[in-house]
């Protein structure tokens, strides 16, 4: 398949735009990319300097498509033969690959207000030869320098009214909506009304049918990482934990049909480097895992609630047994131990009057001595029962 002929015809057939005096002010050109300035050493140090240093980041080195060689090499010698063009748009970085073809146009340079000769070339973007979000290099041409094309990546399927921004690596953003007639095609149109907005940010699509070139569609349980912003849509999200609190009247994630934010991935990390992480909810907050929940605090871990329930009964109801207050229990134990201590003293010195005088009662005296020893051991055990870092009201 020869692409050059088609592009050559297209390039030579583009009409020039003229000003009132008959001078050409816009003459598009098709260029083939041989290098892109992205760092001080890419494509080369000399190319970086020629492009203007850091102010020239994004500058391409290109040849007119009709004169370009099919077998690209990116040596200094070839780059020296190339012309340069800067990105037309400043607000987005969308640089072409080596080997892709771009639309070039003339424009002013920073000195154009000072000198009439001021001007430079700009490129408007990659020409969409294959309608492929990964690459659009002409057939048989060399593709990039380090770029690796993946055979199982597809463009996203676009529904009427959608706006989609796609990367080259299976990532993208969809500004879409509910399309009731397509509820059998996508996962978000079964509930809600036509036109209800949804925004989907996905990193790592999974293409189910790798043997087809058909466009891909997001699937929340298959994507590597994704964020969904919904209005009325219901999504078939499968939670990562099977344990839930039956007493919390929370609608399951795959049943909720109001505005929500869903972040879904193998691991989610929230990190506040200087200040707090705050979570607020008008309803319930539920933390569920099939493994362990750890709460670590360098100073104090504080739970404040009118009622704190630990565990759930077999019938699903909250526990009713109260937690013992350690300080008050200790005071009660002290009173009991003091009373028993008095009893032990009385027993150990107990006597009975006889005609020969007061006589000890061995059984009582031995019981008193034993009670003294038991009370000492009990005091030692009670002291060990109290936590040194967990406190309650």
162 and 275 both lie in a single domain:
yes
Q: What is the mean pLDDT of residues 131-153?
A: 86
Find tokens 């099939």 and name the residue.
290
In-domain check, residue 277? yes
Report the mean per-residue pLDDT for the chain: 86
pLDDT score, position 391: 85
pTM of the model: 0.81
Give the lowest-confidence range in 17-21, 72-76, 321-325. 17-21
230 and 159 both lie in a single domain:
yes
> Is the pLDDT assigned to residue 2 strictly greater than 60?
no
Q: What is the mean pLDDT of residues 280-292?
A: 90
168 and 291 both lie in a single domain:
yes
pLDDT score, position 49: 96
In-domain check, residue 369? yes
Segment 120-138, tens digit of pLDDT = 999 999 999 999 999 999 9
177 and 122 both lie in a single domain:
no
281 and 361 both lie in a single domain:
no
Residue 298 CA: distances (Å) to CA of 120, 295, 301: 59, 10, 8
Identify the band that residue 383 occupies on the pLDDT scale cut at 50, 70 and 90. confident
73 and 20 both lie in a single domain:
yes
pLDDT score, position 315: 83
In-domain check, residue 318? no
223 and 296 both lie in a single domain:
yes
300 and 330 both lie in a single domain:
no
202 and 78 both lie in a single domain:
no
pLDDT score, position 23: 42
How far is residue 213's CA from residue 195's CA, in Å, rounded to a whole number? 28
Residue 309 CA: distances (Å) to CA of 176, 247, 304, 313: 43, 11, 12, 11
Domain count, the chain: 3
Residue 123 CA: distances (Å) to CA of 83, 128, 141, 344: 12, 14, 20, 100
How far is residue 216's CA from residue 229's CA, in Å, rounded to a whole number? 20
User: Angle CA(231)–CA(239)–CA(184) in degrees, nearest 5?
Assistant: 55
How far is residue 41's CA from residue 322's CA, in Å, rounded to a whole number? 70
Give the lowest-confidence range in 110-119, 156-165, 188-197. 110-119
pLDDT score, position 18: 35
- pLDDT top residue among 70 and 255: 255
338 and 263 both lie in a single domain:
no
293 and 332 both lie in a single domain:
no
Segment 232-265, tens digit of pLDDT = 999 999 999 887 776 776 678 888 999 999 999 9
In-domain check, residue 31? yes
Segment 314-340, tens digit of pLDDT = 887 888 888 888 888 888 888 998 999
In-domain check, residue 65? yes
> Is the pLDDT assigned to residue 14 strictly greater than 50?
no
For residue 160, the enclosing domain spans 151-305
204 and 101 both lie in a single domain:
no
pLDDT score, position 214: 86
> Percent of the chain having pLDDT more than 70?
89
């Amino acid at each position: 398949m020869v692409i050059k002929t088609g592009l050559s015809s297209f390039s030579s057939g583009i009409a020039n735009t003229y000003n009132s005096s008959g001078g050409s002010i816009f003459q598009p050109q098709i260029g083939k990319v041989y290098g892109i300035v992205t760092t001080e050493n890419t494509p080369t140090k000399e190319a970086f300097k020629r492009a203007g240093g850091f102010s020239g980041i994004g500058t391409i080195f290109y040849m007119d498509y009709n004169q370009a060689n099919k077998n690209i090499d990116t040596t200094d010698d070839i780059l020296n033969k190339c012309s340069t063009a800067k990105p037309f748009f400043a607000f987005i970085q969308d640089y072409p690959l080596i080997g892709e073809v771009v639309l070039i146009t003339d424009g002013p340079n920073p000195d154009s207000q000072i000198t009439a000769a001021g001007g430079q070339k700009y490129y408007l973007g990659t020409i969409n030869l294959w309608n492929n979000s990964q690459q659009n290099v002409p057939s048989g041409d060399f593709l990039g320098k380090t770029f690796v094309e993946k055979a199982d990546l597809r463009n996203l399927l676009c529904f009427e009214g959608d706006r989609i921004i796609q990367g080259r690596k299976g990532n993208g953003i969809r500004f879409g909506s509910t399309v009731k007639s397509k509820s059998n095609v996508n996962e978000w149109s079964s509930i809600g009304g036509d036109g209800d907005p949804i925004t989907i940010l996905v990193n790592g699509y999974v293409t189910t049918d790798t043997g087809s070139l058909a466009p891909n569609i997001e699937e929340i349980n298959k994507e590597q990482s994704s964020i969904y912003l919904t209005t009325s849509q219901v999504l078939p999200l499968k939670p990562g934990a099977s344990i839930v609190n039956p007493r919390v009247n929370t609608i399951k994630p795959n049943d909720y049909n109001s505005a929500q934010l869903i972040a879904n991935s193998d691991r989610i990390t929230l990190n506040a480097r200087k200040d707090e992480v705050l979570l607020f909810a008008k309803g319930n907050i539920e933390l569920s895992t099939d493994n362990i929940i750890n709460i670590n605090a360098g100073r104090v871990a504080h739970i404040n609630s009118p009622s704190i329930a630990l565990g759930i009964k077999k019938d699903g109801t909250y526990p009713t047994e109260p937690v013992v207050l350690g300080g008050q229990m200790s005071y009660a134990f002290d009173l009991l131990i003091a009373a028993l201590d008095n009893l032990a003293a009385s027993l150990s010195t107990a006597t009975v009057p006889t005609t020969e005088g007061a006589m000890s009662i061995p059984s009582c005296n031995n019981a008193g001595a034993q009670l003294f020893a038991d009370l000492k051991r009990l005091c030692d055990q009670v002291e060990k029962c109290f936590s040194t870092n967990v406190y309650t009201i």
